Amino acid sequence: MGLDLRWPIGLMFTFFGALLTIYGVVTNSDPMYQLSLGKNINLIWGIVLLIFGGLMLIGAIRGSKAPPQA
């Protein structure tokens, strides 16, 4: 099939990661973080998702440059 699955995965997780990271920064020290044991879990996990999404995107870009595998 002509669709490299790494594109949608990479795009989606980068988007979620960016959203959570920004939301985490904006809501830093909000009392709701008592739930997550005082950690700004949105910021932390947003960065994790950004890294994951970014790796997928790098893979997709490299895949689109390399000649298609036999």
Partner 1 sequence: MQPIQLHWIDYTILLAYVVFILGIGWALARYMKSSRDFLTSSRSIPTWVTGLAFISANLGALELVGMAASGAKYGIATSHFYWVGAIPAMVFLAVFMMPFYYGSKARSTPEYLKMRFDQRVRFVNAFAFAVMTVATSGISMNALADLLHLLLGWKYSVSLWVCSVVVLLYVFKGGLTSAIYTEVLQFFLIVLGFAPVVWLGLEDVGGWSALKERLTGIASHPATLALGDKTFQSDAWTSAWKPLLAGSGNNPMGVDIFAMVFGLGFVLSFGYWCTNFLVVQRAMAAKNMTAARNTPLVAAIPKMLFPAIVILPGMIAVGLATLPNKEYRIPPPIISDANYSKAIDAVQNANPADMDAGVKAVHDALGAPIYSDKVSALITANAQHAETTEQIKAALYNSVAENDYNAVIPSLVQRYCPSGLLALALLALFASFMSGMAGNITAFNTVWTYDLYQGYIAPNKDDRHYFRMGQFVTVVGTLLSIVCAYFASHYSNAMDALQLVFGFVNAPIFATFLLGMFWKRTTGTGAFLGLIGGILTSVVFHALTLSVGDTPGIKGGYIQVVHTFQSDMAQAFWLASFAFSACFILTVLISLVTAQTKTDEELKGLVYSLTPKIKDHEQHFFLRPAVLGTILIIACVILNIIFW
| Residues binding partner 1 (CB under 8 A) | 1-3, 5, 8-9, 11-13, 15-16, 19-20, 23-24, 27, 30, 32-33, 35-37, 39, 41-42, 44-46, 48-49, 52
Q: Residues 6 or more apart from 6 whose CB is under 8 A from it?
A: 56, 57, 59, 60, 63
Let me know the angle formed at the C-alpha of 16 by 10 and 19, rounded to the nearest 5 degrees.
Answer: 135
CB of 45 to partner 1, least distance (A): 5
Which CB, 2 or 65, lies closer to partner 1? 2
